[in-house]
Amino acid sequence: MLAPIWSLLGWKAEQPPPSPPPVTITGVRIPVDGTPAHLLSLTTKPASDAMDSFLFHVPDLRQYWATDRAWEFRDLNRLDLLQDHHVPHQHFVQQKQHLQHLLQPRLYPLSQEQRFHLQQRYLLKQEYFILPERFTGCKGAYYMFFSFAADDMPMNEGLPSWIRDVGEVVDSFHRLYPGDVFLVKMAPEEIGENGWAVYEDIGHEFLDCLKEGPLTDRYGRPVKI
């Protein structure tokens, strides 16, 4: 069920609680030291100071990154893993609703913070991939958290190419991901009562999916929507 725009943006008629409580979830860590990706427990903390603040709470990754600046310089990409070529209809309905609220401010007045959260959500890098049939249990929306503090941490060379290529191009050749990289999965509803992100544990099967990647074309390139 789609969350209304006011719920997505953290607005309700009554004043919501000041911040989300911590939630412990199972995510994936791709270490910078070249060791295999693995599942781990992550606990969320309120987010209001970076590109992920539209989620309201995000996994606390400070212990895995070298400096306070690395945490401050965090960013995220979105990966939607599908079981076939059809993007769920609810995605289009939700995007249309959000655009209406952005483009028709007289009909749908938004606060500056609400408008900022919508811009964050739709300006981040997002890709749709099709899963091999054996991995359809991994379908869903994922956020990849990383830091762009390249002066503080070495580059992560262990990212699967299909994940690495989601990022922004640097020097027209490759993407840069310093430090450990993390993946978390969204629950089907994605947004809860107060506009807060709702996460879901990642299962062990995803590690094989991460390694093998999505469907590819005859040239070995991931099939994207």
The domain of 79 spans: 5-212
Q: Is 51 inside any structural domain?
A: yes
Backbone angles phi, psi at 89, to 5 degrees: -55, -30
What's residue 87's pLDDT? 64
What's residue 172's pLDDT? 46
Q: Select from 127, 123, 142, 146 the least CA-distant residue to 187.
A: 142
Q: Is 41 inside any structural domain?
A: yes
Residues 186 and 143: beta-carbon distance below 8 Å: yes
Q: Helix (H, G, I), strand (E, B), or coil: what is residue 198?
A: strand
Q: Helix (H, G, I), strand (E, B), or coil: what is residue 158?
A: coil
Cα 154 to Cα 180: distance, rounded to the nearest angstrom: 9
Total domains present in the chain? 1
Q: Is 220 inside any structural domain?
A: no
What's residue 42's pLDDT? 99
Q: Is 218 inside any structural domain?
A: no
User: CB atoms < 10 A from the CB of 18, how many?
Assistant: 6
Q: Is 225 inside any structural domain?
A: no
Residue-wise pLDDT tens for the chain (225 aa)? Answer: 445 544 555 545 445 557 899 999 999 999 999 999 999 999 999 987 778 999 999 999 999 998 999 999 999 999 999 988 666 656 655 665 666 666 666 666 667 666 656 766 776 788 889 999 999 999 999 999 999 999 999 999 999 989 988 766 555 445 789 999 999 999 998 888 888 999 999 999 999 999 999 988 877 788 777
Q: Is 178 inside any structural domain?
A: yes
Q: Is 172 inside any structural domain?
A: yes
What's residue 152's pLDDT? 94
Q: Output the six-digit token pair for 201.
A: 């544990």
Residue 74, CB-side half-sphere exposure with 13 Å CA sphere: 26
Q: What is the pTM of this model?
A: 0.82
Query: How would you write 42-73 as a 3-class SS string?
Result: EEEEECCCCCCHHHCEEECCHHHCCCHHHHHC
Cα 73 to Cα 153: distance, rounded to the nearest angstrom: 12
Residue with tokens 């991994």: 138
Q: Is 99 inside any structural domain?
A: yes
- State the amino acid at position 41 in one-letter form: S
